[in-house]
């Protein structure tokens, strides 16, 4: 049996952004009615359409907690089953409309083959776009697939990127190892130094790439300040907002061109899948989409279902992460064996003023320095019973890792020290457990680590 077409052409105008004037939407009621065949081409020359979306965007103007539950999610039209079905199909029946979309270059708006697009992808993409306040979003098989497709879409041969000197290791490897093979290059600057960022711009610079919060010291990057520099020089800004999530900030609202995430972290939130997302205007996402096709970083429909389910509790989880982290950070700050604590919600955070201005949620990330050595930090990890010793972040379970033997193992102790990562540095991704249990666990582990 063939299910009803999820995206009937005659409903197309309903799927468009209701905030656009009717004339721009090509609303048949507002102008001369056109043959559906030419109407598509006509609207495309006047404006890029948002989407593709499967549902009517009746969620416009709703709050994040509501969007997280409802946006993009589609009940099954065939059976009435609540929630988006998992469209575990590699390919779709081709009819005249699909053939035409291939011929006329709008295959992104039809279901043809799952690497191109799939209803399970569209559902979660619509939810992500709604949460980011974006016209359009694309999901990828990993955060790195999203970042690489985005950068390769925005850069020409010979182009240069100005990026943070405190990048995620995988992104650094992409910029440093892969871009040069395509005739592109990058340079790295202190993400908190706007003058240095501007000074690093060259005639061939095309993109400024920064992470919203740095790892592991959680410095807050002045994204509106970076956007102002980009505007002045006609450059694009890409922000990796993995640590922040759309609950903490909506970088597109500040004029950022594309926001990317590793959805493997807070967005999915359960440490059980790898995925990525890029969100922004349809015009740019249309340029990123062919890179998803060419480099093959498409997200499997089952993983889309899991990510969509994870996203439904994102606002709830972020509140719990932030509340737990605030309690843990305040407790650590008064502990005699702790020298320093970094948490965006603490008044002692070096960028606290910026954090208050830019972050609606301080996240669950806490970094602290034991009043000891890396050996004390290793001993602390050995004695922790609840917190899991693992890299990654943003899951419901508290994760703990040491920058010196994970993310920053490639640097010497001296280089780490110059970055501000001193001996005894511990990174905590505070989960959603009861913070009292986390404190009990930390208290006994710190005591054991110092041999008390
Ligand atoms: C994890 C992470 C990535 C890479 O994401 P994957 O899903 O592992 O490919 C990129 N940026 C940041 C900030 C990350 O934490």
Residue 115 annotated as catalytic: yes
Q: Is 322 a residue whose pLDDT tops 70? A: yes
Judge whether 139 lies within some domain.
Answer: yes
Judge whether 255 lies within some domain.
Answer: yes
Q: How far is the CA of 296 from the centre of ligand 1 (A)?
A: 18
Which CATH number belongs to the domain containing residue 351 in this structure? 3.90.1150.10
Which CATH number belongs to the domain containing residue 195 in this structure? 3.40.640.10
Domain termination site, one of 293, 311, 329: 311
Judge whether 23 lies within some domain.
Answer: no
**How far lies 27's CA from each of 3, 22, 97, 403, in Å?**
27, 5, 20, 55
How do residues 392-449 score in pLDDT, each as one tens digit?
Answer: 999 999 999 999 999 999 999 999 999 899 999 999 999 999 999 999 999 999 999 9
53 lines ligand 1 (CB under 6 A): no
**Residues 348 and 299 placed together within one structural domain of the fold:** no
**Residues 223 and 269 placed together within one structural domain of the fold:** yes
The proportion of the chain whose per-residue pLDDT surpasses 90, expressed as a percent, equals 84
242 CA closest ligand 1 atom index: 13
* Residue located nearest, by CA, to atom 7 of ligand 1: 143
Q: Which residues contact 33 (CB under 8 A, 6 or more apart)?
A: none
207 lies in which domain range? 58-311
274 lines ligand 1 (CB under 6 A): yes
300 lines ligand 1 (CB under 6 A): no
Q: Which residues pair with 188 in a beta bridge?
A: 163
**Residues 174 and 281 placed together within one structural domain of the fold:** yes
DSSP assignment, residue 425? E
Between CA 224 and CA 444 the distance in angstroms is 42
**Residues 90 and 130 placed together within one structural domain of the fold:** yes
Q: How far is the CA of 264 from the centre of ligand 1 (A)?
A: 7
What is the pLDDT averaged over residues 112-134? 96
Judge whether 8 lies within some domain.
Answer: no
Residue 188 annotated as catalytic: no
Q: How far is the CA of 262 from the centre of ligand 1 (A)?
A: 4
Q: Is 125 a residue whose pLDDT tops 80? A: yes
Domain termination site, one of 311, 334, 353: 311
Selected catalytic residue, list 87, 116, 168, 266: 168
Strands 205-211 and 236-240: what pairing? parallel
Domain termination site, one of 289, 311, 333: 311
pLDDT for 306: 98
435 lines ligand 1 (CB under 6 A): no
Judge whether 110 lies within some domain.
Answer: yes
* Residue located nearest, by CA, to atom 5 of ligand 1: 143
**Residues 371 and 259 placed together within one structural domain of the fold:** no
Asked if residue 265 lies in contact with residue 318, where contact means CB atoms within 8 angstroms, the answer is no
Name the band, by pLDDT with cuts 50, 70 and 90, for residue 54. Answer: confident
386 lines ligand 1 (CB under 6 A): no
**Residues 227 and 334 placed together within one structural domain of the fold:** no
**Residues 305 and 321 placed together within one structural domain of the fold:** no
Q: Is 366 a residue whose pLDDT tops 90? A: yes
How crowded is the C-beta side of 164, counted as CA atoms within 13 Å? 25
Q: Is 247 a residue whose pLDDT tops 90? A: yes
**Residues 177 and 91 placed together within one structural domain of the fold:** yes
* Residue located nearest, by CA, to atom 6 of ligand 1: 143
**Residues 367 and 294 placed together within one structural domain of the fold:** no
pLDDT for 13: 33
Q: How far is the CA of 426 from the centre of ligand 1 (A)?
A: 19
216 lines ligand 1 (CB under 6 A): no
What is the pLDDT averaged over residues 164-171? 95
Q: In what order do the strands lie in the sheet with 338-342?
A: 338-342, 365-370, 425-429, 399-401, 388-389
393 CA closest ligand 1 atom index: 15
Q: How far is the CA of 149 from the centre of ligand 1 (A)?
A: 14
**Residues 289 and 431 placed together within one structural domain of the fold:** no
Q: Is 41 a residue whose pLDDT tops 70? A: no
Judge whether 42 lies within some domain.
Answer: no
Selected catalytic residue, list 240, 257, 300, 374: 240
How crowded is the C-beta side of 52, counted as CA atoms within 13 Å? 21
Judge whether 49 lies within some domain.
Answer: no
Name the band, by pLDDT with cuts 50, 70 and 90, for residue 29. Answer: very low
Asked if residue 266 lies in contact with residue 396, where contact means CB atoms within 8 angstroms, the answer is no
pLDDT for 18: 34
**Residues 201 and 293 placed together within one structural domain of the fold:** yes
Asked if residue 331 lies in contact with residue 287, where contact means CB atoms within 8 angstroms, the answer is no
Q: How far is the CA of 210 from the centre of ligand 1 (A)?
A: 13
Q: Which residue's structure tokens are 């457990």?
A: 433
Residue 240 annotated as catalytic: yes
Q: Is 162 a residue whose pLDDT tops 90? A: yes
Judge whether 274 lies within some domain.
Answer: yes
242 lines ligand 1 (CB under 6 A): yes
Q: Which residues contact 263 (CB under 8 A, 6 or more apart)?
A: 128, 139, 143, 273, 275, 276, 277, 307
Q: How many domains does one find in the chain?
A: 2
Selected catalytic residue, list 25, 54, 265, 427: 265
144 lines ligand 1 (CB under 6 A): yes
Of 269, 250, 271, nearest to 259 by C-alpha is: 250
Selected catalytic residue, list 39, 48, 100, 115: 115
Between CA 303 and CA 105 the distance in angstroms is 28
* Residue located nearest, by CA, to atom 1 of ligand 1: 262
**Residues 358 and 278 placed together within one structural domain of the fold:** no
Between CA 7 and CA 2 the distance in angstroms is 14
Q: How far is the CA of 51 from the centre of ligand 1 (A)?
A: 25
């Amino acid at each position: 049996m063939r299910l009803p077409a999820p995206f009937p052409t005659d409903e197309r105008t309903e799927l468009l952004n209701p905030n656009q004037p009717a004339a721009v939407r090509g609303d048949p009621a507002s102008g001369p009615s056109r043959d559906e065949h030419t109407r598509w081409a006509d609207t495309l020359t006047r404006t890029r359409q948002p989407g593709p979306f499967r549902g009517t965007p009746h969620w416009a103007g709703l709050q994040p907690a509501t969007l997280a539950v409802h946006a993009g999610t589609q009940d099954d039209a065939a059976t009435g089953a609540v929630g988006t079905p998992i469209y575990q199909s590699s390919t779709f029946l081709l009819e005249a409309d699909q053939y035409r979309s291939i011929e006329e270059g709008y295959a992104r708006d039809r279901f043809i083959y799952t690497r191109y697009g799939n209803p399970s992808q569209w559902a979660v993409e619509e939810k992500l776009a709604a949460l980011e306040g974006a016209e359009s979003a694309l999901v990828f098989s990993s955060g790195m697939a999203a970042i690489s497709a985005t950068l390769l879409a925005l850069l020409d041969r010979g182009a240069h990127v100005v990026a943070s000197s405190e990048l995620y290791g995988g992104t650094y490897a992409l910029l440093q190892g892969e871009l040069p093979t395509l005739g592109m290059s990058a340079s790295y600057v202190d993400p908190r130094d706007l003058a240095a960022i501007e000074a690093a711009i060259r005639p061939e610079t095309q993109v400024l790439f920064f992470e919203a919060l740095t790892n592991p010291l959680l410095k807050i990057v002045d994204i509106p300040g970076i956007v102002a520099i980009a505007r002045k020089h006609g450059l694009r800004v890409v922000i990796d907002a993995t640590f922040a999530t759309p609950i903490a900030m909506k970088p597109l609202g500040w004029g950022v061109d594309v926001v990317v995430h590793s959805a493997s972290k807070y967005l999915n939130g359960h440490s059980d899948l790898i995925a990525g997302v890029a969100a922004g205007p349809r015009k740019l996402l249309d340029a990123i989409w062919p890179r998803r096709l060419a480099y093959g970083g498409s997200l499997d429909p089952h993983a889309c279902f899991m990510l969509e389910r994870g996203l439904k509790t994102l606002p709830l989880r972020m509140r719990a992460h932030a509340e737990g982290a605030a309690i843990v950070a305040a407790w650590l700050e008064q502990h005699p064996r702790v020298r320093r604590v970094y948490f965006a919600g603490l008044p002692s955070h070096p960028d606290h003023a910026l954090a208050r201005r830019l972050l609606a949620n301080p996240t669950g990330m806490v970094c602290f320095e034991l009043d000891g050595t890396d050996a004390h930090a290793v001993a602390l990890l050995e004695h922790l019973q609840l917190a899991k010793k693992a890299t990654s972040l943003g899951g419901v379970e508290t994760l703990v890792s040491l920058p010196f033997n994970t993310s920053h193992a490639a640097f010497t102790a001296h280089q780490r020290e110059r970055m501000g990562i001193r001996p005894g540095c511990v990174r905590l991704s505070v989960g959603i457990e009861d913070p009292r249990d986390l404190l009990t666990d930390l208290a006994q582990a710190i005591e054991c680590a110092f041999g008390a």
